[in-house]
A and B are shown apart, each in its own frame.
Chain A
Amino acid sequence: MSYRNRELASLVVVGLMTGFGFASVYIARQDVVSASSLSYGIFFLCLYLAAHAVTRLTVPNADPYILPLGGLLTAIGVTEIYRINPQDALHQTIWIVIGVVAFALTLFLFRRDYRKLESYKYLCGLGAVGLLMLPALPVIGERINGARLWIHFGGFQIQPGEFAKILLIVFLAGYLREKREVLAQGRLKDLGPLLLIWGAAMLVLLETSDLGSALLYFGIFLAMTYVATGSKKYPIGGGVLFLLGSFAAYHLVGRVRERVTIWLHPWTNHFVYCSQTGKVNHLRQDCDSYQLVKSLYSIGNGHFGGTGFGKGTFTDTAGNPLIPYLKTDFIFSALAQELGLIGVAAFLLVYMVFALRGFRIGMIAEDGFSKLLAVGLTFGFVLQTFIIVGGVLRIIPLTGITLPFVSYGGSSIVANFVVLAGLLLVSDRAQARNA
């Protein structure tokens, strides 16, 4: 079967799964939701078919599974958001449509040769830094839940960091392709850029109080440097530097210390300091670690088989939501409850399989820029998934960052569709030779 026919067949299966998901929510919650939920399944199938038509036109030799995997994650996400709040699902659907449009535009713009981006690498680098700085500006910048990550723009809330990530990867791919020979020799004076970016990551960390993004950017940088040089010095040295920096941040920044304490000791049997009241009058699970603990109970309530879509418990008997930020940072714990261990295991496998396809594109890509671009985009995608899922599962300290394709949030959806388009472009060029 040709690549595009395989993609079409996979998309039909994904459309069917979307239909099953929405049908379950509809049947389980007939008293709350209307029959219109069934039209979501058909709507998404049409949307995927439109995206598929674009790939047929622009990237005929591209990887057949990247788009269906992205579509599947998007569909699971929007099903769960619909189950939490139908109104939010409508907004999310609008963003997904915008994401598919961005996907199509990226493919059309770069269908001839995306490698011309390499000439604009410094522009991309500057753009990334500019976008990262935006939320720090007064008036348009906004601090939500302690982290400064959002800007206001004509009634929309935009998270520029999501787009900065892509520009940064393009910059690094171009820069490392050019400098890799020098970096690979590993003389001390050539370590300047490494230290510079380490410093920048630490600054981002301190300025935005956002551990997750700092870890994400620095991790992408180290992975791409390793791919560019084949030298293990960089990931090991960089890891040590990051640990040292985090250790310093732990002692200097109260918020970081708070996060680590929540991570290590979410439950207490005596009253501790509560940052909301400012007094020592709560158990920690009733105050600072309330969110994390409730999310862990939610995951536990899913057991092996899950409650099924639409039958999880996300509100108390009075109808108040149990977990704050359920549809964004904690969507994983909602899914874990409704799909159960067997379901979320498959869900995480989808991310792994996505990584498998992405790294394969990196393997078959012929030139350095394409290899670095594919590996960078894929690694950024999976590291982000690890940071948020690891945080929710208490493997690492929790930091608010979106779960790619699944969390509620427009910037994240649109940016991830652009990542999909990028991977398709690289794989199309790599496979055109064999076709």
Chain B
Amino acid sequence: MTVGSIAVEEVLLLLKVGFLVLLYLFIWRVVRTASRDLRGVSQESMILAPQRVQEQKKRRRSGKAGPKPSGKLVVVTSPALRSGEEHAIATGPLLLGRDSENDVPLVRDEFTSGRHARIDPRGDGVWIEDAGSTNGTFVNGVRLTTPRRLSSGDVIRIGETDLRFER
């Protein structure tokens, strides 16, 4: 009986130690990869572009121009916008689509979707992505399936609107 119960105690102790060791090793592993992962994205933040808002505030107060935009969109042809009209791409993302709440609203272009495409200035250039539109977003005639980096002179087609990206 004594021998048996001692064995039971020892097995239980082994299980307990095994459980705890595995638990801490698992946590250690997740934390280690987490610190490695975070190094790669150090310039990103959870907070949505607070700098952009601060800059807007400053600009409103001082009446000065904002930071140098990372590019602009020039309207080539469109049923909704005047040809030659320019939309500056600042530091935050830009939404294009038929709804009036978009940053570049294309209200009268019937072939665009409510939220059609998203233009996103990042550290490594200006990216464009389709935002789940019905008729698709085209860059130089090629339909987007994945986000793509824009180069100066690229022509973006959204519905019946053509926009040229310029640095």
Partner-B contacts on A (CB < 8 A): 6, 10, 13-14, 16-17, 20-21, 23-24, 27-28, 65, 68-69, 72, 113, 115-116, 119, 178, 180-181, 184-185, 226-231, 305-306, 308-311, 339, 342-343, 346-347, 349-350, 353, 356-357, 359-360, 362-364, 366-368, 371-372, 375, 432-433
Contacts and interface: CB of A to CB of B under 8 A. Distances in A.
Contacts of A360: 34, 37-38, 41
A27 B11 contact: yes
User: Which secondary structure characterizes the binding site on chain B?
Assistant: helix
24 contacts: A6-B33, A10-B26, A17-B22, A20-B15, A65-B30, A72-B23, A115-B132, A185-B57, A227-B48, A229-B53, A230-B51, A231-B53, A306-B16, A308-B12, A308-B16, A309-B19, A349-B27, A353-B34, A357-B30, A360-B34, A363-B38, A366-B93, A366-B129, A367-B118
A357 B34 contact: yes
B19 A21 contact: yes
| Residue of A185, A308, A362 with highest tally of chain B CB at under 10 A | A308
B114 A363 contact: no
Given A20-B18, A346-B24, A362 B147 contact: no
B62 interface: no
A363 B47 CA distance: 8
Given A116-B132, A353-B31, 12 more contacts: A20-B18, A227-B46, A227-B47, A230-B49, A230-B54, A308-B16, A309-B15, A311-B12, A353-B34, A357-B30, A363-B38, A433-B147
A230 B15 contact: no
Interface residues of B, number: 46
Contacts of A367: 93, 118, 120
A347 B12 CA distance: 19
B57 A346 contact: no
B50 A229 contact: yes
B160 interface: no
A350 B27 contact: yes
A226 B47 contact: yes
Contacts of A375: 46
Interface in B1-56: 8, 11-13, 15-16, 18-20, 22-27, 29-31, 33-34, 37-38, 41, 44-51, 53-54, 56
A411 B30 CA distance: 28
Contact of B47 (A10, A230, A305): A230
B66 to A, nearest CB: 14
B53 A23 contact: no
A346 B20 contact: yes
Given A20-B18, A24-B19, A343-B20, A180 B27 contact: no
